[in-house]
Amino acid sequence: MNAHDLLWGMTPGHLPADAPAWVLDVIGAGHPVVVRRAQAEPGHVAVGVRGRLREQRFAAVMPLAAVRRRVVPEALCDVISPRNLPALRALAQLRTVLAKEIWGVTGSAGFELATGIEALHAQSDLDLLLRTPERLGRGDAEDLLAILDTAPCAVDLQLQTPYGAVALREWAGPSQRVLLKNASGAHLVVDPWQAVA
């Protein structure tokens, strides 16, 4: 399982006793959870539950044996929504730009495309993931960012390296060190394509 994968099969019985009522409602309704970057006990995966409000996010763990269905971000690239929102127009515009890459849709757009549950609104950003097993030069990152910045909404693209994820916007910027996020936490690094010491 990788960060941003959507998983179905979690039940209220998998939740801690202090889980808020909205979390029980979401899980009880059969909504998927999203894999998050965190350590979990063997046989389990760290997940997040998302509610209807932006601040409704709940961290939990799910037994791997409970997973009934998994949708990866890459599976959502070509899903077409009937809704006309800036984030979905941005996705349509960027499909050709990213066509030769290994990429996927995450965040609210990914959740909506995977479930049909309306999670996007007119001010929503578009969250994308680009798999970058090989190093992306900073000049290439700047060029890609310039294209993304022509989209009809803000686009937050994460570069997924073998060692974690770094924001394209940060990698394309002037800072020598950037924030690399992985299951062990967040690390300031010079090169996100090198193992964290």
140 is catalytic: no
Active-site residue, from 125, 143, 149, 156: 125
Q: Supply φ then ψ for residue 68, to 5 degrees.
A: -105, -25
Active-site residue, from 5, 127, 143, 191: 127
On whether the CB atoms of residues 153 and 124 are closer than 8 A, the answer is: yes
Residues 6 or more apart whose CB falls under 8 angstroms from that of 15 comprise: 23, 24, 27, 60
Helix/strand/coil for 179: strand
C-alpha pair distances (Å), 183 with each of 12, 133, 154, 164: 25, 17, 26, 8
Strand 164-167, strand 155-161: pairing: antiparallel
127 is catalytic: yes
On whether the CB atoms of residues 158 and 131 are closer than 8 A, the answer is: no
Residues 6 or more apart whose CB falls under 8 angstroms from that of 127 comprise: 105, 106, 107, 108, 109, 110, 156, 157, 158
Residues 6 or more apart whose CB falls under 8 angstroms from that of 81 comprise: 88, 112, 113
The catalytic residues are: 125, 127
